[in-house]
Amino acid sequence: MKTIIDSHVHLDMIELHHPHRIQWLKENACSVISWSFFEGVHSASQLEGFFASQAQCVRRNSAAGLSCHYLAGIHPRSIPQDLKPEQIGPMVKSHLEDPLCRGIGEIGLETGDAKEQEVFIAQLELGRSLLPHGKVIGVHTPRHNKVSVTETTLEILSRFPDISSALVVDHCTIETIVDVLNAGFWTGVSLSPVKSSWGEMKNIVSIYSDQIDRIMCNTDSAVRFFEDAVQCSRSDDMAEDIREKIFYSNAARFFKIHP
């Protein structure tokens, strides 16, 4: 493989904490999809500034030769208590008009409390309105209580059957991916020492070989940077055609990225 797509990173955080890695990504022919996650959000009025900063980061690096796109959305760990559902559309919609913005994300549940569910549903409804424009939706699942929170997430998503083909549920593990695939969604697996290992990924590929066209890999690099996607894409202990799908063509097809 000559080119890969790391289908879930936080480019603004990589640029801040690991600026030398931007050149590393270019040298390793690694395209990225940057998902929204903002630290230090204390009020809804701050969110527009965070969104603008994320978009500027992607545009700046794209102009400098990095193949990059982004999703704009309110991560469950970035929800200020004063945020009202009706404020979300105006904040996000202007970015969705940017050709580099492929859709809404990172949205979803962290604990599954009422506030998170309210914001999650509001963003799914916004995503539904954008389907005719070819946009997609990226959904978060947490590290803690993953199985139970993923179940709640899938229950909410079941209320939006019309957007299932445009939705990826990310950070899936060998314990949760079966339910996500069976629900008909695209899936993401984050490869790193703190999430899923290459051995677990090989097991997923073996068990769900008939659904490989809906599985894509990423690193979720942010404050910590992980090389796993690049390294594993070159591993000869998995067939090259399978690696081409999970590290490149599935993501290119889902995010509608054309060379």
The 10s digit of each residue's pLDDT in 87-136 is 999 999 889 999 999 999 999 999 999 999 999 999 999 999 887 889 99
The 10s digit of each residue's pLDDT in 131-157 is 788 999 999 999 999 999 999 999 999
Q: How confident is the model at residue 1 (pLDDT cuts 50, 70, 90)?
A: low
Domain 4-254 belongs to what topology? TIM Barrel (3.20.20)
**Mean pLDDT for the chain overall:** 96
Identify the pLDDT of residue 158: 97
- Return the closest-CA partner of residue 206 out of 158, 234, 235, 239: 239
The 10s digit of each residue's pLDDT in 179-227 is 999 999 999 999 999 999 999 999 999 999 999 999 999 999 999 999 9
The 10s digit of each residue's pLDDT in 43-100 is 999 999 999 999 999 999 999 999 999 999 999 999 999 999 999 999 998 899 999 9
pTM of the model: 0.96
